[in-house]
Structure 1
């Protein structure tokens, strides 16, 4: 039986329930896909250009997760 990730964010004012499930879960899945691609690329780039490699590896956490998670108010 496959394990399906489910992320819950409580205490938000984005909806009347003050709980979000869909946004953080989809954000996590997008983060995982982006990280699987960007972290190896960032590691290779880091060998030659440290700051650029760090930026590439930080991109899923700093940009992808917050943007995708913020799209869904539920």
Structure 2
């Protein structure tokens, strides 16, 4: 009996809002990555998720106050 394998799930959090560079502020995927998600194989999906995580971290660093975390 063949059991279908689970595909890499979409990171969509239903908070779709694109910034000026067409990056979603909810999942941090580029518009082209969002529109190509359904056709992407799991290797491509994992690569998209890796890039999205890098964008999320970069945005978090850019948004940090210049004086750091100490209060």
Relative to its length, the structure with more helix (as a share) is 1
**Structure-2-length-normalised TM-score:** 0.38
**Structure-1-length-normalised TM-score:** 0.37
Greater length-normalized contact order (CA 8 Å, ≥ 6 residues apart): 1
Relative to its length, the structure with more strand (as a share) is 1
